[in-house]
Amino acid sequence: MVALMPTYAPANLAFERGEGVYLYTADGRRFLDFCAGIAVSCMGHAHPHLVQALKAQAEKVWHTSNLYRIPGQELLAERLAAASFADRVFFCNSGAEALEGSIKVARKYQKDNGNPQRYRIVACDNAFHGRTLATIAAAGQKKLLEGFTPVVEGFEQVAYGNLNEMRNAITDETAAILVEPVQGEGGINPASADYLQGLRAVCDEYGLLLMFDEVQCGMGRTGKLFAHEWAGVKPDVVATAKGIGGGFPLGALLTTEAAGVLGVGNHGTTYGGNPLAMAAGGAVLDLLLADGFLDHVNAVAKTLEQALRVLVAKFPNVFVEARGKGLMQGIKLRDPIVNREFKTKLEGEGLLLAPAGDNVLRLLPPLIITDDHVAEAVALIENVAASYA
Ligand SMILES: Cc1ncc(COP(=O)(O)O)c(C=O)c1O
């Protein structure tokens, strides 16, 4: 009997320290980290700029609450707004919280605009938006909802990528559309630019908010600050988290001016945007927005994509395909090979990856990887593939 709730079945690995793209166990084993804490450690481990920022803040003040002004919040919000579609930013602690905020924005926006009957949100099959009651309802997946009925009211799902289905699901009760520009947990499925542009048109036609979940695909992961930028689409609301704090718990809800409907008393958080989180978030953004950083992400992503294509072609009995956007890549395994088993074998080789839906292996490396790290990772995957072939 152990006290820890068994909500996870972790690999029997514990890391004592990290440096750059590598993690080390206490007994000195080294692992190439292409999981990055599930798309979180975007600057790798113990990045000197992040460590310095957090240390400096830790010596001043950790937490004051939102009862007082937090200068770091005001600054980070301005910087995020200047770099994106957004005019308003709310800071929270996690992805699910950013999504909860988005859902509240959708309902309040419609109410404030004289449409209180519009409260429903159309999302997509295979989506993942978090583990809170509303976010599991938004995703609508049976495996998430099992045991937690009644389901929070006001969500439906349609096939991802199918604009006709989306259009047909809109009723006079619909408030918003909620989509991941690249589905992560669902198996690394990038939406086409056409689809995202089509969603914008549907929202404009019916007066709906277009809300993107960029918790996983945002913050430089695909080679743009936000993945929707590839499609040239301007959303009304974006929820982000993961990479934004580089490993410090941080989430953000970004909206346009028109969708910035949350005011005093409507929403809140004790911890969200505290001085430590703002120091971490500010340091991540320093690096992410530095000249040439996203160019680097795009260049190394091209190397990775190409290497994965070659790998898949070399082992057609093991792999079905490689797919993704930027440094958010997936390799679909051919049945009966199981992604979790493959992942465990990779750990034996010294490579960390994350499993995803649709029997996919997810590669979510730190954005600071080089072509050499790509070559090293692909060689290790090849070793395991050869053991199956
Ligand atoms: C697309 C997406 N949305 C929301 C979440 C939930 O984020 P968190 O686990 O920080 O609550 C995740 C987490 O994996 C995610 O990938």
Q: Over range 238-252, report the average pLDDT.
A: 98
- Phi, psi torsion values for 9, nearest 5 degrees: -120, 75
- As assigned by CATH, the class of the 49-288 domain is alpha beta
Check residue 87 and give its pLDDT: 98
CB 256 within 8 A of CB 227: no
Residues with CB under 6 A from ligand 1: 38, 94-96, 99, 128-130, 180, 184-185, 213, 215-216, 241
Indicate the DSSP class of residue 131: S
Residue 314 Cα to ligand 1 midpoint, Å, equals 33
Give the helix/strand (H/E) hosting 345.
Answer: helix 339-349
Q: Whose CA is nearest to atom 8 of ligand 1?
A: 95
Residue 164 Cα to ligand 1 midpoint, Å, equals 27
Ligand 1 atom having least distance to the Cα of 184 = 16
Q: What is the DSSP string of 270-321?
A: SSTT-HHHHHHHHHHHHHHTSTTHHHHHHHHHHHHHHHHHHHHHH-TTTEEE
Ligand 1 atom having least distance to the Cα of 249 = 10
Residue 387 Cα to ligand 1 midpoint, Å, equals 33
Query: Which mutation among 242, 250, 360 tests ligand 1's pocket best, with the greatest number of atoms within 8 A of CB?
Result: 242
Query: Which mutation among 38, 128, 144 tests ligand 1's pocket best, with the greatest number of atoms within 8 A of CB?
Result: 128
**How would CATH label the architecture of 15-42+296-388?**
Alpha-Beta Complex (3.90)
Residue 130 Cα to ligand 1 midpoint, Å, equals 5
pLDDT-derived band of residue 1, with 50, 70 and 90 as boundaries?
low
CB 85 within 8 A of CB 238: yes
CB 279 within 8 A of CB 56: yes
Question: Reduced to 3 states, what is the DSSP secondary structure of residue 56?
Answer: helix
Percent share of the chain, pLDDT over 70: 100
CA distances to 92, 169, 245, 252, 307 from 285, rounded to whole Å, are 17, 38, 9, 13, 29
CB 177 within 8 A of CB 202: yes
Sheet containing 328-333: order of strands: 319-325, 328-333, 360-363, 354-356
pLDDT digits (tens, 9 = 90+) for 181-207: 999 999 999 999 999 999 999 999 999
Query: Which mutation among 215, 248, 360 tests ligand 1's pocket best, with the greatest number of atoms within 8 A of CB?
Result: 215
CA distance 119 to 97: 19
Q: Over range 134-163, report the average pLDDT.
A: 98
Check residue 252 and give its pLDDT: 98
Residue 154 Cα to ligand 1 midpoint, Å, equals 20
Burial degree of 150 (CB within 10 A; 0-12, 13-18, 19+): exposed
Q: Are strands 174-179 and 120-124 parallel, antiparallel or unpaired?
A: parallel
Check residue 166 and give its pLDDT: 98
pLDDT digits (tens, 9 = 90+) for 252-285: 999 999 999 999 999 999 999 999 999 999 999 9
Ligand 1 atom having least distance to the Cα of 96 = 11
Sheet containing 174-179: order of strands: 88-92, 251-255, 237-240, 209-214, 174-179, 120-124, 155-158
Does residue 135 carry a pLDDT above 80?
Answer: yes
Q: Are strands 22-25 and 15-19 parallel, antiparallel or unpaired?
A: antiparallel
Query: Which mutation among 129, 131, 362 tests ligand 1's pocket best, with the greatest number of atoms within 8 A of CB?
Result: 129
pLDDT digits (tens, 9 = 90+) for 91-101: 999 999 999 99
pLDDT digits (tens, 9 = 90+) for 4-58: 999 999 999 999 999 999 999 999 999 999 999 999 999 999 999 999 999 999 9
Q: Parse the chain into domains and list their residue ranges.
A: 15-42+296-388, 49-288
Q: Are strands 155-158 and 174-179 parallel, antiparallel or unpaired?
A: unpaired
Residue 317 Cα to ligand 1 midpoint, Å, equals 32
pLDDT digits (tens, 9 = 90+) for 339-374: 999 999 999 999 999 999 999 999 999 999 999 999
Check residue 389 and give its pLDDT: 86
Same fold: 15-42+296-388 with 49-288: no
